[in-house]
Amino acid sequence: MELRVVDHPLVAHKLTLLRDRDTDSPTFRRLTEELVTLLAYEATREVRVEPSTVPTPVAAAPGVRLREPRPMVVPILRAGLGMLEGMSRLMPTAEVGFVGMVRNEETLQPVTYAERLPTDLSGRQCYVLDPMLATGGSLATAVRFLVDRGADHITCICLLAAPEGIDRMRELLAELEVPTTLVVAAVDERLNEQGFIVPGLGDAGDRLYGVA
């Protein structure tokens, strides 16, 4: 798995505001969308395109367009939903599939409670959205779902990751032959005993939507 930490002053600025416990929910949602759009620029570097020529008012201009099959964007509910709009704005023709997961607060194991994805993802590039990569269990499970259905190129976009979670993802996905990239705004210090990222930003789902 390739790790890309997006090193950009605007990303760092918006992430700092997002971490602040005094940032309210509407601002948190807006910042999340803005951050995703900035990260998506980096995350979509390998999106597949094909040549396409368009007539300008002056002459024919060679260009490119997204290649079929269309890319698939997969937010992990609930918190990943806060990243969907920012991603869709940049790639409006992408299809969207959903995976619902919640972490058991004691065991920290992910439980999948919803899944709405095409059964056949052969040849598809997938972009998985989840703001937080803590133990890595949720994201690794989601990546496996997609690969089991034939996806052949996976990019995960997270706002924050813990080093323990990145190591765990590497371990869990080691034998996968599908190229996998993780794009993050920052890698924090560590996980605490409750499985929270430190210093982190708290519970992204609660801060986006207000209820636990």
- Tell me which residues in 65-94 interact with ligand PRP (CB under 6 A): 76, 78-79
Quick one: tokens of 194?
């409750």
| 103's tokens | 């972490």
**Between the CA of residue 86 and those of 24, 97, 102, 111, 207, what are the distances in Å?**
19, 15, 22, 26, 17
Q: Which of 86, 97, 136, 200 binds ligand PRP (CB under 6 A)?
A: 136
- Cβ neighbour number for residue 206 with a 10 Å cutoff: 14
User: Between residue 174 and residue 193, which ones bind ligand PRP under the rule CB under 6 A?
Assistant: none
124 is known as an active-site residue:
no
Q: 19, 103, 144, 149: which one is catalytic?
A: 103
- Of 47 and 208, nearer to ligand PRP (C-beta) is 208
Nearest residue relative to ligand PRP (C-beta):
205
Rule CB under 6 A: is residue 32 a binding residue for ligand PRP? no
Catalytic option among 24, 53, 107, 190? 107
Count of chain residues binding ligand PRP (CB under 6 A):
23
Instruction: Between 40 and 139, name the residue whose CB sits nearer to ligand PRP.
Output: 139
Annotated binding-site residue? 203: yes
> Is residue 115 within the footprint of ligand PRP (CB under 6 A)?
no
Q: Is 103 noted as a catalytic residue in this protein?
A: yes
Q: Which is nearer to ligand PRP, 71 or 82 (CB)?
A: 82
> Is 123 annotated as contributing to ligand binding?
no
Q: At what angle do helices 25-43 and 9-19 cross, to 10 degrees?
A: 150
Residues making up the annotated binding site for uracil are 197, 202-204
Q: Which residues are catalytic?
A: 103, 107, 203, 206
